[in-house]
Amino acid sequence: MSFENPAISLSARVAELNKRFQNTDTVEMLREITSDPAFGKLALISSFGADSVVLLDMVAKIDRALPIVFIDTEMLFHQTLSYQRKLAKDLGLQDVRRILPSREAVLKRDSENLLHRYDTDACCTLRKTEPLARALTEFDGWISGRKRYQGGARMSMDLFELDAEQRIKINPLAHWSREDLASYIAAQNLPKHPLVAKGYKSIGCAPCTTPSGTIGNERAGRWRGQTKTECGIHFGNNAPARPVIPRAVIVTDEGFETEDWAAGFHSFASLATLPEQEKAALAIDLKGDFVAKDLLPWIGQIDLIRVSFPVFSDGRGFSLACQLRLLGFVGRLRAKGHIVADQYAMARRSGFNEVEIDQALARRQPEPVWQARADWQIRDYQNLLRQSA
Amino acid sequence: MYNYTTFDKDFVATRAAQFRDQVQRRIDGSLTEDEFRPLRLMNGLYLLLHAYMLRVAIPYGTLDSRQMKALADIADTYDKGYAHFSTRQNIQFHWPKLQEVPDILEALATVDMHAIQTSGACIRSVTSDHFAGAAQDEQADPRPTAELVRQWSTDHPEFAFLPRKFKIAVTGSAQDRAVTKFHDIGLRLVQNASGGPGYEVSVGGGLGRTPMIGKVLRDFLHREDLLPYLEAILQVYNQIGRRDNKYKARIKITLHEHGLEDIRQRVEESFALQRARFDGADQDVLARIEANFKPPAFKAASTSRFETQRANDPFFNAFTKTNLHPHKNPDYAIVTVSLKAHGATPGDASSAQMRALAEIAKRWSHNELRVSHEQNIILPHVHKGDLPEVYEALRLAGLATANIGLISDLIACPGMDYCDLATARSTNVAQGIALKFDALKQEHSIGPLKIKISGCINACGHHHVGHIGILGLEKGGVESYQITLGGDGTQNAAIGKPTGPGFSADEIIPAIERLILSYLTLRHNASESFLTTFRRLGPAPFKVTLYPAKENQNEL
C-alpha cells in the first residue's frame, strides 16, 4: 500500500476506512477509491460467477480500464468461459486478465487432472490460490465481490480488510443482500450466468460445484459433502486457521506410541555449559549437516539424539545416523520431522531406533502403513554384503 | 550371465508389490505428489511432456533372450509396440498408464528384471563395457564388479535421497567403452605392482550443463576395499554435496568447489570408519558372482563360410567391415546390431525386432545380448561360421544397417518431441544427417565419426563427447544448433569446444555437410579419422568452412 504516513499502522488505516465509508453508496465508494492515488494500483478479482455481473457493471461505469483478474482454473464450466467473454464485450471491459495455473506446477502436481478427487485443498492451492497470489504481486489492493449473507466466515466481513500480504482488500458488496443483487441485475437488465437458471447460486469449478438447492446457504453447492467452504484465496489475517495438533507420534517397530521422553532436548551448542544435574537424562537435537565427530567428547553421556528432517527428500540425516553409530553412540537415535512411511526401513537400517512425526502426517499415513515396513531387517542387500552368515 | 538367487527374486517381487501399494496410496491421497515423486522415480517412472515414461534397468547392459522377449511383450501389451534403448544401457517405454505400471513391474520380476533406481536422486543403475567378457582387448571382466555394485547400491538406506543422481561405470579394457571418465565414479580394473587385483577410482566426471572430466581419487584400491571406499565417497557427497541449487548438486561441483585434496582427505577419514563394517562377506558374494560369468562353451567349427560369403556378397562384406569387433576367441566375432537405420529414430526398436533379436541371440549368440550406451544392440558371442545366417536373419528384421562407428551411427536424445526439458528437436537433425550422407553415399569413405546430439543443455545426447557435438537451444523462440568439435568419451577424454554462433534448423545439416567435406580435403589420407585430423589441425580450418566470409556466402 502506498499510504504516505508510516506512523499510522495499516490496521488503523483500515479501521478508519471502514468508518469513513460505512454509510457511503457502493458506486460512490468505488468511484472514490479507484480515483484516490493513496490506494495505489487496484484490481477487481472476479470469478464471472452467479452475481459477479453487479460489481463488473459498476466498475465498467466508473473505469473500463480497471484491471480485472479472472482466475481460470482450467476446471471451470464452459458456460463460465463463454459468459466471461460475453460480459467483457457487453460491458466494454478493457483489461480482463485471464490467469492460468503454472504449466510446470500442473505437470508436476496434477498431470492427470484428478487432484480434486483426493485433495481439494491441494487442487485449490494449485489452480486458484497460487495463480492469484502471482497475479496480485503487481497490485497494492484488490476488490472482491463477497457478501456477508453468504454465510460461514464471510458473515463477519468488513468493507475493508488486510490480506496476509498486508495488501488492502475491499469488499464493496459486503452488506448487500440477495434481494439487493437481484434487483440491481433486473434494473440494469444485465445478462445472467447461464447456470443460474439451472439452480446454481454459487459457481466455482465444474468438478466441485453442484446446484445449491432452493433453501439454505447458497454456497452449499460448493465442495458438497466436505467441511470445506472456502477455496483459500479469501483466507487472510482473520481467517479461520486450519486446526493443527502439534502432539508428536513416535513410530517404532511396534507401531505408534506417544512421547515417553520427559526431560526435554538441548542444542549441541548448549552442551558445554550445561549444569551437571541436567546431564542425568540427556537428549540433544541435531541437524542433518552436523559433523558427527564433533560430538565425540560427549558421545558416552547422551541418552537420546534427535536428528531433524525438515524435508523428506533431504537424506543427510541417514548418513549422520550411520556415522554416529560408527563413532560409538549406543543410546536412542530418533529421526524427527518429515519422514514418510516408505522411508521407515531406511531410517532403521541407518541406525535410527524410532521416528517422530506430527499428527497431520500420522493421520495421512496411519499406523498400518508404517507397520508394513517393520520387516526392515529382511531383503537387506547391504547386510548380506557386510556380514558373513 | 548373472543368475538371480532366491534372495534377488524375492527382492524384486516384493519391490513390485510395494510399488503397487504406493500407487494405490497416491491415488487415495495418503501420499502427496511431492512424496510420491521420488518413490516413483526410484522405480523408474518419469513424468514427461505427454505421458509417463518407464525406464527399465538393464544392469550393465546385459540381458538374455528370455528377457528381451519379455520386453517385446511389454511393448505390445502396455505400449505402442516399440521401445527405446537409452544412452544409459536401459530401455524406455514411453506410454504406460500409471495404474498399469505395477503390472509391468510384476511382469519384469518374473524374468528377473526391474526398474529400480533408473532415476531419482540415488545411485543409478550401473553401466559397463558392452563388449565385456567378449572383447579381445579386455584385461579383466568388469561384469562381476558391476553386479556387486548393483547389489550394494540397491535400496541402500543411506543413499536414496542424495543431493542429486549418482552414476557409476566400470571398465576392464584399455579401450574405455564405458565412458568412465564422465561418470560420478568411474572404476577401472587394474593390477598393482605385485599383480594384485584392484581398481583405479575416478570421481567427479560428468556431462550436463557443466561438463567435467573425472579425476583420479585413488590410483590403486585393493579389490576387497571397494564397497567401503564407495560408501565413504557417497557418505561425503551425501553430507557436503550442495542441496541449494540443483545445477550445482552433482559431485563434480562438490569436487570442484572443495578441491581434490580436501575430498580425498574426507573420503579417507570416512573409509577408515566404514572399512570395519565389512567382514569379507562381500568377497564371498563376489566369488559367487564371478562363477556366473564363466565364458560360454565356445564351439569348434569351421569359419570358411564367413570368408566365402564375404567374397560373394558385397552387402555382407560391408556389414562385416563396420559391425564386427574382434572376439577373445579368434573363431568368434562380436556383432553390433545398428538401431540407427537411416531416417529412423536412434535407439528405437519395434517389438518384432526385439523378438527377432531374442531369437537370433538364442540360436547364434549363446543366448546373450547387450545394450550399448551408443544405443545399439550387441550379439557378444557369434561364431564366424554362423555370421552369414545371422546377417540374413537381421536383414529380414530390418536390422542389418552397416553403419557402426560411421556418421549415421549417431546418438540423439528424444528432444522436444518427447521431453519437457528440451529446448530444440534432436531426432529430426539425426535423421536429416543420416539421410543426407546416405544419399551422398559418402558414409564409408568418411570413416569413423561420432556425432552426438542433445536437445538441451542437460546433454542427454552426450554432445560434449561427440567428435562433432550438436547442442539444440532456443534463441528468441527459434531453434538454434550449436556445434562443438573434438569431444572424446574414451580414455583420451576430451570435452568438445564450441565453434561459434549457432545454426537454425534449416542451416544445421548444410553446416555439417560443409564440415565433413572440408575434413575430406584436409585429411592426410583415408585412414586419418576426423578426430585425428581435428587434433592435428585444431579448430581453425573447420571454423572457416563453418562460417564462410560474407562474399563467399553469396556465391554458395
Q: Which residues of B touch A342 (CB under 8 A)?
A: 18, 22, 35, 39
pLDDT digits over B441-481, tens only?
A: 899 999 999 999 999 999 999 999 999 999 999 988 899 99
Residue B125 domain flag: no
Question: For this structure, is A231 an active site residue?
Answer: yes
Question: Percent of chain B scored above 90 by pLDDT?
Answer: 88
pLDDT digits over A231-255, tens only?
A: 766 754 344 443 334 478 999 999 9
Residue B186 C-alpha, separation from nearest chain A C-alpha, in angstroms: 21
Pair B227, B319 in one domain: no
Pair B464, B548 in one domain: yes
- Long-range contacts made by residues B251-259, C-beta under 8 angstroms, separation at least 24? B251/B166, B251/B184, B251/B203, B251/B204, B251/B206, B252/B184, B252/B204, B252/B205, B252/B206, B252/B210, B252/B212, B252/B214, B253/B210, B254/B204, B255/B203, B255/B204, B255/B212, B255/B215, B256/B204, B256/B212
- Any chain B CB within 8 A of the CB of A389? yes
| For B25, nearest residue in chain A (alpha carbons) | A365
**Average pLDDT for residues B153-163, to the nearest whole number?**
97
Please name the amino acid found at residue A66: L
Residue B136 domain flag: no
CB A217, CB A150: distance < 8 Å = yes
**Rounded to an integer, what distance in angstroms lies between the CA atom of residue B495 and that of residue B212?**
8
Neighbours of A375 (CB within 10 A): 11
pLDDT of residue A357: 95
User: How many domains is chain B partitioned into structurally?
Assistant: 4
pLDDT of residue A213: 62
Residue B161 domain flag: yes
Say whether B152 and A386 touch across the interface (CB within 8 A).
no
Q: Is the pLDDT of residue A60 over 50?
A: yes
Q: Which residues of A touch B47 (CB under 8 A)?
A: 107-108, 111
**Average pLDDT for residues B421-434, to the nearest whole number?**
92
A227 or B35: which carries more pLDDT confidence? Answer: B35
Residue B550 pLDDT class (50, 70, 90 cuts): low
The average confidence (pLDDT) of chain A is 86
pLDDT of residue A150: 81
Q: Which residues of B touch A323 (CB under 8 A)?
A: 235, 270, 273
Residue A16 pLDDT class (50, 70, 90 cuts): confident
Q: Is the pLDDT of residue A2 over 80?
A: no
Nearest CA among A119, A129, A147, A127 for reference residue A49: A147
pLDDT of residue A229: 72
Q: Is the pLDDT of residue A215 over 60?
A: no
pLDDT of residue A44: 94
Nearest-by-Cβ selection for B238 from A315, A348, A384: A315
Pair B429, B473 in one domain: yes
DSSP B310-373: HHH-HHHHHHHHHHEEEBSSTTEEEEEEPS--TTSPTTEEEHHHHHHHHHHHHHHSTTEEEE-T
Which residue is it, cell 505421458? B51
Q: Which residues of B touch A289 (CB under 8 A)?
A: 239
Which of B68, B91, B109 marks a domain boundary?
B109
pLDDT of residue B49: 65
Residue A214 pLDDT class (50, 70, 90 cuts): low
Q: Are strands A141-143 and A248-252 parallel, antiparallel or unpaired?
A: unpaired
Say whether A388 and B284 touch across the interface (CB within 8 A).
yes
| For A116, nearest residue in chain B (alpha carbons) | B29
Interface test with A, best of B15, B100, B158 (most A CBs within 10 A): B158
Please report, for the domain that includes residue B389, its CATH number.
Answer: 3.90.480.20
Which of B230, B264, B292 marks a domain boundary?
B292
Which position among A123, A205, A231, A322 bears the catalytic label? Answer: A231
pLDDT digits over A243-297, tens only?
A: 334 478 999 999 999 898 988 899 999 998 988 888 889 999 999 999 999 999 9
B-proximal residues of A, 81-120, CB under 8 Å? 107-112, 115, 118-119
Count of pairs with CB atoms under 8 A, one residue in A, one in B? 125
pTM comes to 0.75
A199 or B358: which carries more pLDDT confidence? Answer: B358
Residue B44 pLDDT class (50, 70, 90 cuts): very high
pLDDT digits over B509-544, tens only?
A: 999 999 999 999 999 999 999 999 999 999 999 999
Residue B265 C-alpha, separation from nearest chain A C-alpha, in angstroms: 15
Residue B339 domain flag: yes
Q: Is the pLDDT of residue B347 over 80?
A: yes
pLDDT digits over A101-143, tens only?
A: 988 888 878 877 778 877 788 888 899 988 998 888 888 899 9
**Average pLDDT for residues A165-185, to the nearest whole number?**
87
Say whether B25 and A369 touch across the interface (CB within 8 A).
yes
Interface test with B, best of A346, A381, A383 (most B CBs within 10 A): A381
Q: Which residues of A touch B281 (CB under 8 A)?
A: 384-389
pLDDT of residue A3: 44
Pair B288, B165 in one domain: yes
Q: Which residues of B touch A112 (CB under 8 A)?
A: 98
Nearest-by-Cβ selection for B160 from A315, A369, A389: A315
* Through-space distance between the first and last CA atoms of chain A, rounded to whole angstroms: 71
Pair B85, B208 in one domain: no
Residue B133 C-alpha, separation from nearest chain A C-alpha, in angstroms: 24
Say whether A109 and B278 touch across the interface (CB within 8 A).
no
Residue A6 pLDDT class (50, 70, 90 cuts): very low
Q: Which residues of B touch A325 (CB under 8 A)?
A: none
Pair B89, B149 in one domain: no
Q: What range does the domain containing B199 cover?
A: 142-292
Instruction: Kindly state the cell numbers that stand for B93.
Output: 517405454
Residue B280 C-alpha, separation from nearest chain A C-alpha, in angstroms: 7
| For A309, nearest residue in chain B (alpha carbons) | B161
Which of B86, B109, B132 marks a domain boundary?
B109
pLDDT digits over B186-217, tens only?
A: 999 999 999 999 999 999 999 999 999 999 99
Pair B70, B98 in one domain: yes
Q: Which residues of A touch B421 (CB under 8 A)?
A: none
B-proximal residues of A, 269-328, CB under 8 Å? 288-289, 312-316, 318-320, 322-323, 326-327
Residue A363 pLDDT class (50, 70, 90 cuts): confident
Nearest CA among B106, B105, B104, B90 for reference residue B57: B90
Interface test with A, best of B5, B53, B166, B238 (most A CBs within 10 A): B238
Residue B349 C-alpha, separation from nearest chain A C-alpha, in angstroms: 28
Residue B413 domain flag: no
pLDDT of residue A240: 40
Residue B298 domain flag: no
Residue B201 domain flag: yes
**Rounded to an integer, what distance in angstroms lies between the CA atom of residue B151 and that of residue B167?**
14
Pair B68, B158 in one domain: no
Say whether B281 and A389 touch across the interface (CB within 8 A).
yes
Residue B124 domain flag: no
B-proximal residues of A, 213-252, CB under 8 Å? none
| For B231, nearest residue in chain A (alpha carbons) | A319
Residue B15 C-alpha, separation from nearest chain A C-alpha, in angstroms: 10
Pair B474, B364 in one domain: no
Say whether A349 and B157 touch across the interface (CB within 8 A).
yes
Sheet of strand A332-337: strand arrangement? A255-257, A248-252, A354-358, A332-337, A304-309, A283-286, A266-267
Neighbours of A239 (CB within 10 A): 14
Say whether B282 and A318 touch across the interface (CB within 8 A).
no
- Any chain B CB within 8 A of the CB of A171? no
**Average pLDDT for residues B405-414, to the nearest whole number?**
92
Nearest-by-Cβ selection for A364 from B27, B30, B154: B30
Say whether A107 and B21 touch across the interface (CB within 8 A).
no
Q: Is the pLDDT of residue B313 over 80?
A: yes
Pair B101, B162 in one domain: no
pLDDT digits over A39-48, tens only?
A: 889 999 999 9
What structural domains does chain A harbor? 10-221 (3.40.50.620), 248-386 (3.20.20.70)
Pair B277, B308 in one domain: no
Pair B260, B179 in one domain: yes
Residue A252 C-alpha, separation from nearest chain B C-alpha, in angstroms: 17
Q: Which residues of B touch A108 (CB under 8 A)?
A: 33, 37, 47
Span of B229-233, B338-342, B378-382 with lowest mean pLDDT: B338-342
**Average pLDDT for residues A339-365, to the nearest whole number?**
93
Span of A128-132, A336-340, A382-386, B121-125 with lowest mean pLDDT: A128-132
Say whether A364 and B285 touch across the interface (CB within 8 A).
no
Q: Which residues of A touch B32 (CB under 8 A)?
A: 119, 122, 364
Which are the contacts of A266, defined by CB distance < 8 A and separation ≥ 6?
Answer: A274, A278, A282, A283, A284, A285
Q: Which residues of A touch B158 (CB under 8 A)?
A: 315, 318-319, 322, 346, 350
Say whether B32 and A119 touch across the interface (CB within 8 A).
yes
Please report, for the domain that includes residue B426, its CATH number.
Answer: 3.30.413.10
Say whether B278 and A385 touch across the interface (CB within 8 A).
yes
Which residue is it, cell 507401531? A255
Residue B231 C-alpha, separation from nearest chain A C-alpha, in angstroms: 10
Q: Is B232 exposed, middle or buried (0-12, 13-18, 19+ CB in 10 A)?
A: buried
pLDDT of residue A246: 47
pLDDT digits over B293-305, tens only?
A: 999 999 999 999 9
